[in-house]
Amino acid sequence: MMNTKFDAIVIGSGISGGYSAMELCKKGYKTLMLERGRMVKHGDYPTAHMDKWDLPNQNNVSLAEKEKHYFKQDKLAWWVKEDVKPFINKDDEYPYDEVEPFAWIRGHHVGGRSVMWGRHCPRWSDIDFEANKKEGIAVDWPIRYADIESWYDYVETFVGIAGQAEGLKQAPDGKFIAPFPLNAAETKLREAVRKKYPNRVVTPCRTANLSEYKPDVHLGTRGQCMARNRCKRGCPFGAYFSTQSATLPVAQDTGNLTLKSDAIVMEIIYDSELKRASGVKVKDANTGNVTIYNARIIFCNASTVGTAAILLNSRSEAFPNGLGNSSGELGHNIMDHHYRMGASGTLEGLEDEYYKGRRPKGFFIPPFTNIDDDTREKGYLRNFSYQGGASRATNIPEGIVGAELKNEILKPGTWRINMECFGEILPYHDNKMFLNFDKRDKHGMPIITFDAKIRENEIKMREHAVKCAVEMLEAAGCKNIRERNLLSESAIGACIHEMGTARMGHDPKTSVLNKWNQMHDVPNVFVTDGACMTSAGTQNPSLTYMALSARAVDYADKQIKANKL
C-alpha cells in the first residue's frame, strides 16, 4: 500500500527544498519531497559534454521554435539556448498572464533551478536587514545578521563557497575555500579602482563552485571544478552545488527520504479544529490521480511564485483568500533585482598575459552607495552591486580561410572588461501576483497573473549605476567604453531572483511569516524559499535561503521535541 503519512513534507526540490529536506532527514524525520516536474538524477545532463559545434544552429534555438514554445522567456535573448533547453519550461505548456511585462524563468524537474543557477553566494549584512525600518519602507525584517550568521557558517561549510575575505561591512566575509583568482586585466581594474575610489572593491566572485576538493567536507558525489564554464547545463562532476550533487544524496543516505516527481501540489489542507495544516493534496501529472499526504509539519519551497500560488489556492472557510493570508499580503511585495545595465570597454596592453581554463565566475564589486552617511545618495534609496569579468577575444579578419584562418584563431585579441550591475527593487505592495480562478491550465490549476514593474526609485538608481561603471573602467584605462541601460529588457523576473510574496515580519497583520519562517496563522507550515524575503538587497539570494532553511528546520525540531508543534 502507498504510504501517505509522513513526519514532514517538503514542497519543491530546488535550492531551499533540497536543503530543508536534507536537514529534516538528518534529524530523523520521515520526509516526503514533492516535485511537480520530471525526475532528473545526478548525471542526467544531456548537453554537459557537448561543444558548441555539437549543438544545433551553433547553440541557437530556431526562431520558429522560440515563437512556438519560448515566446515569453525569449525576452531574455541570452537565456533560451540549445544547451540549457532541456531544463526550461515551454511557455505554451505552462501559461501565465501579465498586466505588466514579467519574465518568469522556470524549470520543472527534480533539482529545479539549482541545476542551472548562477551560483553567486554573497552574504547579506545588517545594512540590508535594517534598511526597511530605517527608511520607513514596507515592514521591518524580524531578524538581523546576528540571527543567521552562524547558519551562514554552517551552510557555507557544506556548500563550498570560493571567495576572498575583504573585511567589508556591507558584504560580510564567509567560510571561504580558495577563490578563483582575478586575471591580469581584472587585477589591474582592482588596483586602479582601489586607488581612485577607496570605498569600491573589486574581488573574486563568491561562488558555489569547488575551487579545491576537501574530502573531509565534501561528498563523494562532488569533485573539483574543471573550469569548463558549462555550469548551467548541469555539472556531471558535481563541482558546483546542486540538489542532485549535494543535499539529495545526504538525505537519501539517511533512509528517511521519499522523493516523488511529477507530483503537482494542488493545495495545503487546513484542519479548522486543530488550527493546523493536516497535509497536502497532490495530483499525479501523468495519471491525473489525486492523493492526500499527511504530515506533522510542511515546508513550502516551491519557489517565490510557486509557493504563493499554492498558498493562494489553499482556500477554506477559515482562509477564504489563501492559507495563512489574514494579513492580505500573500502574493504582494514581489521583488527581483533589476539589471541589463552597466558598461564594457577594451583595455590596451597586457598582451603577454593570458589565463587558464574558463572560470565559472569573474569579479564581484559589492555595494558602495547608501551604506552609511558618507556614501548617502540623494536621488534614490538602497544600492547596487556588479558582477563581471575580463577576457581576450579573437580578432579574425574577414575573408580568410584554411591554414591562415587556423593561425588567426589561435591568436588572442584585445582584452575587454564587462560590468553588469544588479540593483535592488523596493518591496512595493502594488507589485503583486494573483490567481485567475476562471482560467485554468492543463492540470486544472488557476492561471497566475503578474502585475509588477520597476518604478521611479529604480530608474534613478540605474542612471547612477551606469555612471559608476564607466568611472571605474576609465580609472583602469579602458577605451571604447560602451554603456548600457536596457530598461526595456529589465522586466521583473528577468534577473531570476524573484522574492517577497509571503514576507517575514513582526506583526501578523502586515506579514505572513514570523522570524522563524513560520506562518503566523498556521504554525506547522514554514516557508523558506524566496517568498519569505522582506526586502531584496542586491545580493544573489540563494545562500540566504539555505541559511534560513537550516535555521527553520532546527527551530521546528526543537518545537516538536518540546511538544509545542
Supply the pLDDT for residue 215. 65
Residue with cell 493536516: 278
- Please, which residues bridge with residue 161 across strands? 176
**Chain centre distance of CA 156:** 16
What is the residue type of 377? Answer: E
Q: What is the pLDDT of residues 60-73, one digit of tens each?
A: 999 999 999 999 88
Pull the grid cell for residue 136: 520607513
Task: Tell which phi-psi region holds residue 284, choosing left (phi > 0), alpha (psi between -120 and 50) or beta.
Answer: beta
Long-range contacts of 87-94 (CB under 8 A, 24+ apart): 87/40, 87/115, 87/116, 87/234, 92/68, 93/69, 93/442, 94/441
Query: How far is 177 from 214, CA to CA, in rounded Å?
Result: 9
Supply the pLDDT for residue 396. 84
Supply the pLDDT for residue 509. 98
Give the residue from 473, 430, 453 showing the smallest Cα distance to 190: 473
Give the residue from 102, 71, 77 showing the smallest Cα distance to 89: 71
CA atoms within 13 A on the CB side of 269: 14
Residues in Cβ contact with 76 at an 8 Å cutoff, skipping those fewer than 6 apart:
103, 105, 489, 494
Query: How far is 461 from 382, CA to CA, in rounded Å?
Result: 8
Query: How far is 559 from 565, CA to CA, in rounded Å?
Result: 5
User: Is residue 8 within 8 Å of 108, Cβ to Cβ?
Assistant: no
- For 201-260, the DSSP string reads --EE--BSB-SS--TTTS-TT-----S---GGG--TT--B--IIIIIHHHHHHTT-EEEE
Give the residue from 446, 424, 421 showing the smallest Cα distance to 433: 446
Q: Which domains does the chain have, with CATH numbers?
A: 5-119+241-336+429-453+494-561 (3.50.50.60), 161-233+337-424+455-489 (no CATH)
User: Is residue 10 within 8 Å of 243, Cβ to Cβ?
Assistant: no
Residue ranges of the chain with per-residue pLDDT less than 50: none
Query: How far is 279 from 276, CA to CA, in rounded Å?
Result: 9
pTM for the structure as a whole = 0.95
Pull the grid cell for residue 310: 499554492
Find the distance separating the first CA and the last CA of the chain, reported in whole Å: 28
Query: How far is 383 from 368, CA to CA, in rounded Å?
Result: 7
Q: What is the pLDDT of residues 239-261, one digit of tens each?
A: 999 999 999 999 999 999 999 99
Let me know if 310 is exposed, middle or buried by CB neighbors in 10 A (0-12, 13-18, 19+). Answer: buried
Give the residue from 291, 227, 239 showing the smallest Cα distance to 265: 291
User: Is residue 25 within 8 Å of 254, Cβ to Cβ?
Assistant: yes
Supply the pLDDT for residue 167. 97
Pull the grid cell for residue 525: 507550515
Supply the pLDDT for residue 217. 58
Supply the pLDDT for residue 409. 86
User: Is residue 427 within 8 Å of 132, Cβ to Cβ?
Assistant: yes
